[in-house]
Amino acid sequence: MSDTGNACFTLDAALEQAVEMENRIYREFLSAIRKVMNKGAIAILRDAAIGKLESKHLLEKALLEGDIESTELHEPVPTMQLDSHYGKESLSYDADSRAALAYAIHLVTGSVNYYREMAGACAGAPMSPVFAKISGDQTTLLQRLEDAYEEHFLTEN
């Protein structure tokens, strides 16, 4: 998901790039929803897709206003990094809720990492904080997904 190169952007270009990223991930969720048969898995994927639509909406609003500072993005929150152990890169038609949640975690982790990479690639440039702020906002959705995974699928030893 990363194609950062060494490019830094204007605010408009940075926000356009972020909107495109959110749309790509939303499309991944939509494709998965159309593929899987399990109702629980579909519900999880729908919730995650709605989270991506909400993110995209906020970014589009910032693009219209020409300012990200007035956009209500969440502060970064700590995540458990579950993608490295439980993330799933694809789903089959018979995927269950656990697989759907692991897939959602994988996709959202990809967006968090993408925005972090963009912030790093633009270090010192005006767009670095923009990408860092977007990445931070994405951690809220990721934390929600990881918390659900932990609650339902990780047992205490």
What are the structural domain ranges in the chain? 11-153
Structure tokens belonging to residue 69: 């500072």
With 0-12 / 13-18 / 19 or more C-beta atoms within 10 angstroms meaning exposed / middle / buried, residue 143 is: middle
Q: Residue 4 burial by CB count (10 A; 0-12/13-18/19+): exposed, middle or buried?
A: middle
pLDDT values of the chain reduced to their tens digit, one per residue, 157 residues: 444 444 577 888 888 988 999 999 999 999 999 999 999 999 999 999 999 999 999 889 888 888 777 666 666 676 777 766 676 788 999 999 999 999 999 999 999 998 888 888 888 877 788 888 888 888 899 999 999 999 998 876 4
Task: Please state which of the four CATH numbers 3.40.30.10, 1.20.1260.10, 3.20.20.70, 3.20.20.80 is assigned to the domain occupying 11-153.
Answer: 1.20.1260.10
pLDDT at 89: 82
Counting other chains too, the contacts that 45-49 makes at CB distance below 8 Å and 24 or more residues apart are 45/100, 45/103, 45/104, 48/104, 48/107, 48/108, 48/141, 48/145
pLDDT at 60: 92
**Dihedral angle, C-alpha 8, 125, 111, 150, nearest 10 °:** 170
pTM comes to: 0.84
